[in-house]
Chain A
Amino acid sequence: MLVFVLQILINQELRKRAVYGTVVLMAVLLTAGYMLYDDYSDIATFIVNLGLLGFVRDKKFFIVTSLTATLAYILFSFFGNYATETIFDIFHVGLGAWSGWLFEIVGEIVVTACMLAVAISFQLLHKRHAKQFSDDVTLNVITSALVVAAIAYFAVAAAADNYNIGHGFLGILMIILIAVLLINGGTFIYLFYSYTMRVQAHRQALERHQYDIYVKNLENSYQNLRKFRHDYQNILLSLGEYIHDADDPALKQYFAEVVDRSGKSLTRDFGHFDNLERIKDKSLKAIIQDKFSVARQAGVQVRLEANDDIVTPAIDQVTLARVSGILLDNAIEAVTGQTGGEIAVAVVKYPQMVELIFANSLAGSIDRLDELMVAGHTSKGAGHGQGLATVRELLDPIQNVTYELSAHERFEFIISIESE
């Protein structure tokens, strides 16, 4: 009850008339109950406490702290008793009239200190593991465990009182019971978590699978589109041969317009998906897809070249992702705002090597390529400086990987990955 009143003081949400009323009513009833009949007072208190907790059903964390406090209080009352007895024994103080009071005071101090420790550790826990404490599932588990422990304790206590079993035996019984409960609870939590993890993993796998199917479908329909585009362009070109020979200026004019318009839309609207299906390495594919869409949003023309199917190149995935990310970001930055700016990535396959070429059009010439690779150097305008030192740092130690960069007509960075 005391614990509960304290909690009301701390917790603003409990300051309701109904709560106050209930607390007062319960206090009166309980006091009356104690006066008349003392045997089951502990259980009554506990049931009342549980009833009070009904007010805060939604505040799981609060229930946890409250229950823990109650149980801790009970535990510490025993502990306090024993501790004080031991202290008295050590200092050879007999239990006289005045020392009875001393006993009470020391006992209460010990209990209060223990309770304070519990409260502080709760605060600390709450601060450090805020996530776990706001997770409903975890809180539910803990609450249930605490309720079970409390009920068990009171059941044992009631039985012990009724059949006049000594407190020592009761203590042993309690320890065994709590141990069993802890083991049970641990097992339960472990099973529960492993189950949720499994469900989660399964769901992720399913999602990935569906995404793969989606990408594959997209690629298939895109390939069909490409075939169509190829045929369409060739038909236009053949048609052009005839129209060129025909003696009709209006027709020629119109045809030139059609060719111009369709040529533009065919490269602009579909170009970014070209050849993506050839890249079988998922992380490389993802990063190219991602950066290309960024570039396209910035109004930059993109092109991907891959003439053969490319499986995973012999390089650490994370390194490759970082390096290609930096290079593509640089390229996008360099080309954004350039008229007719273009970014191109080529994956070139040789019998014993795969080369990745990252290229972008240049606004101005770069004279000193060697300076681009030095950390802290930023070429004005070209925007290639920042990451290249990092790229170099990442690639230099890798035995089977070498690189080239050039700035002739366009900026080009080539990563050559020899198969091991």
Chain B
Amino acid sequence: MKSTLLKTFVVEDDPEQLATLKQIISNHIMINAFDMALTLATSQAQALLDYLDAHPDVEGLYFLDIEYTGQALNGLELATKIRERDVNAKIVFVSTHSEMAFLTFERRIEPLDFVVKDLGQDTVKAKVEKDIRVAYERYTKQGVANKAMFSYSKGGQLFNIPLDQVLFIETGAARNKLVLHLKDRIIQYNGKISDETVAHPELFRVHKSFLVNPSSLVRVDKQAQLGYFENGETVDIAVRKMHDLATLIKQSQLSVRVD
């Protein structure tokens, strides 16, 4: 634990809106007696970066606008730089609907939430307060259950996903392409299954084309040599691997039906 306090930051270039956000945040922290503080509320994006550079190890909740008129940084760049300095940053974008780039921000920043200003003051207030609660909850639980992550890279960019989302990896239709199956996502990326087997010891190679996350399996059919997942997807299991897989399931006490 680096510091016990969850620091909150606001960057908003409109003075009235900045004042309103400040008020909503301080009130909500005070009422709930959260171990939080409104550390910095500024209209200058650079001021926040300066603060983060001066205080490494900060873990924070950030409320950012998207366009700062006349400033060198915009919300996306600011958020990217915050991520570089604070890996666990909880970022909330507060802006008008037309400025929001939901898909882009979700892909690049993984923000905690989007608060659309034009929905009216009451909605904004309710959403900001909810985000404070969610961020605080995540922050306090973070230390207890450190979530295992799985990462893959594309074009020099690293993407992280919680390991419990991973079902399995299979070899793709073309050479050097792998297909990563998540619970609600399929990701094709460049790589070799042998390399991935070494890089991810938490996964188990059940077949020359399949690398499985054993804790995502729901059923193993020894007769048909198939492994089943919750959404109905299946993987082939090689005869030679069946015994090792059964042992692993027993050892790790996974709730997988083996028959």
Question: Does residue B138 face the partner (Cβ distance < 8 Å to A)?
Answer: no
Question: Does residue B157 face the partner (Cβ distance < 8 Å to A)?
Answer: yes
The interface residues of chain B lying within 8 Å CB-to-CB of A259 are: 118, 120
Question: Does residue A33 face the partner (Cβ distance < 8 Å to B)?
Answer: no
The interface residues of chain B lying within 8 Å CB-to-CB of A353 are: 154-157
Q: Which of B19, B107, B120, B172 contacts A241 (CB 8 A)?
A: B19
Contact with A along B165-184 (1 / 0, CB 8 A): 00000001110110001101
Question: Does residue A351 face the partner (Cβ distance < 8 Å to B)?
Answer: yes
The interface residues of chain B lying within 8 Å CB-to-CB of A396 are: 172-174, 177
Q: With the chains together, A347 CA to B96 CA distance in Å? A: 20
Cβ B157 vs Cβ A344 within 8 A: no
Q: With the chains together, A352 CA to B19 CA distance in Å? A: 40
Chain B 158-215 residues near chain A, CB threshold 8 A: 172-174, 176-177, 181-182, 184-190
Cβ A416 vs Cβ B155 within 8 A: yes
Cβ A267 vs Cβ B185 within 8 A: no
The answer to whether A408 and B102 touch (CB under 8 A), given A350-B156, A419-B155, is no
Cβ B187 vs Cβ A404 within 8 A: yes
Contact with B along A363-398 (1 / 0, CB 8 A): 000011110010000000000000000001000110
Q: Which of A263, A307, A417 contacts B118 (CB 8 A)?
A: A263
Q: With the chains together, A43 CA to B232 CA distance in Å? A: 91
Chain B 95-151 residues near chain A, CB threshold 8 A: 96-99, 101-104, 107-108, 117-118, 120-121
Q: How far is the CB of B56 from chain A (nearest CB, A)?
A: 24
The B contact surface, by secondary structure, is mixed
Q: How far is the CB of A211 from chain B (nearest CB, A)?
A: 27
Q: With the chains together, A365 CA to B46 CA distance in Å? A: 42
Q: With the chains together, A405 CA to B185 CA distance in Å? A: 6
Question: Does residue B255 face the partner (Cβ distance < 8 Å to A)?
Answer: no
The interface residues of chain B lying within 8 Å CB-to-CB of A226 are: 98
Question: Does residue B259 face the partner (Cβ distance < 8 Å to A)?
Answer: no
Cβ A406 vs Cβ B154 within 8 A: no
Question: Does residue A271 face the partner (Cβ distance < 8 Å to B)?
Answer: yes
Question: Does residue B231 face the partner (Cβ distance < 8 Å to A)?
Answer: yes
Cβ A238 vs Cβ B184 within 8 A: no
The answer to whether A350 and B155 touch (CB under 8 A), given A241-B19, A244-B121, A406-B186, is yes
Chain A 254-295 residues near chain B, CB threshold 8 A: 256, 259-260, 263, 266-267, 270-271, 274
Q: With the chains together, A399 CA to B182 CA distance in Å? A: 23
Cβ A368 vs Cβ B156 within 8 A: no
Question: Does residue A27 face the partner (Cβ distance < 8 Å to B)?
Answer: no
Cβ A230 vs Cβ B99 within 8 A: yes
Cβ A370 vs Cβ B103 within 8 A: no
Cβ B108 vs Cβ A348 within 8 A: yes
Q: Which of A351, A357, A405, A419 contacts B186 (CB 8 A)?
A: A405
Question: Does residue B26 face the partner (Cβ distance < 8 Å to A)?
Answer: no
Q: Which of B97, B155, B186, B190 contacts A267 (CB 8 A)?
A: B97
Please, which residue of chain A has its CB at the minimum distance from the CB of B103? A346
Q: With the chains together, A402 CA to B156 CA distance in Å? A: 13
The interface residues of chain B lying within 8 Å CB-to-CB of A237 are: 14, 16-17, 96, 117-118
Please, which residue of chain B has its CB at the minimum distance from the CB of A266? B98
Q: How far is the CB of A241 from chain B (nearest CB, A)?
A: 4
How big is the B interface, by class?
Answer: 35 or more
The interface residues of chain A lying within 8 Å CB-to-CB of B57 are: none
The A contact surface, by secondary structure, is mixed
Q: How far is the CB of A265 from chain B (nearest CB, A)?
A: 11
Question: Does residue B53 face the partner (Cβ distance < 8 Å to A)?
Answer: no
Question: Does residue A325 face the partner (Cβ distance < 8 Å to B)?
Answer: no
The interface residues of chain B lying within 8 Å CB-to-CB of A373 are: 186
Cβ B232 vs Cβ A367 within 8 A: yes
Cβ A350 vs Cβ B157 within 8 A: yes
Q: With the chains together, A267 CA to B96 CA distance in Å? A: 10
Cβ A370 vs Cβ B181 within 8 A: yes
Q: Which of A344, A399, A418 contacts B103 (CB 8 A)?
A: A344
Q: With the chains together, A240 CA to B181 CA distance in Å? A: 47
Question: Does residue A403 face the partner (Cβ distance < 8 Å to B)?
Answer: yes
Q: How far is the CB of B232 from chain A (nearest CB, A)?
A: 6
Cβ B20 vs Cβ A241 within 8 A: yes
Cβ B96 vs Cβ A368 within 8 A: no
Q: With the chains together, A352 CA to B187 CA distance in Å? A: 19
Q: With the chains together, A270 CA to B97 CA distance in Å? A: 12
The interface residues of chain B lying within 8 Å CB-to-CB of A234 are: 14, 17, 96
Q: With the chains together, A402 CA to B98 CA distance in Å? A: 30
Cβ B154 vs Cβ A233 within 8 A: no
Q: How far is the CB of A342 from chain B (nearest CB, A)?
A: 10
Q: With the chains together, A316 CA to B135 CA distance in Å? A: 44
Cβ B118 vs Cβ A233 within 8 A: yes
The interface residues of chain B lying within 8 Å CB-to-CB of A370 are: 181, 186, 233
Contact with A along B7-44 (1 / 0, CB 8 A): 00000001011011000000000000000000000000
Please, which residue of chain A has its CB at the minimum distance from the CB of B190? A402
Question: Does residue A305 face the partner (Cβ distance < 8 Å to B)?
Answer: yes
Question: Does residue B226 face the partner (Cβ distance < 8 Å to A)?
Answer: no
Question: Does residue B67 face the partner (Cβ distance < 8 Å to A)?
Answer: yes
Question: Does residue A85 face the partner (Cβ distance < 8 Å to B)?
Answer: no
Return 14 A-B CB contacts under 8 Å, by A number.
A226-B98, A238-B14, A259-B120, A305-B104, A357-B104, A370-B186, A392-B173, A396-B172, A396-B177, A402-B154, A402-B187, A414-B107, A417-B155, A419-B155
Listed in ascending order, the chain B residues whose CB lies under 8 Å from chain A are: 14, 16-17, 19-20, 67, 69, 74, 76, 96-99, 101-104, 107-108, 117-118, 120-121, 154-157, 172-174, 176-177, 181-182, 184-190, 231-233
| Known pairs A241-B16, A307-B101, A368-B233 / 13 extra A-B pairs, C-beta < 8 Å | A229-B98, A230-B67, A234-B14, A234-B17, A238-B14, A259-B118, A346-B104, A352-B155, A353-B154, A367-B231, A397-B174, A404-B188, A408-B185
7 tightest CB-CB pairs across the interface, nearest first? Answer: A353-B155, A346-B103, A406-B185, A305-B101, A418-B155, A408-B184, A241-B16
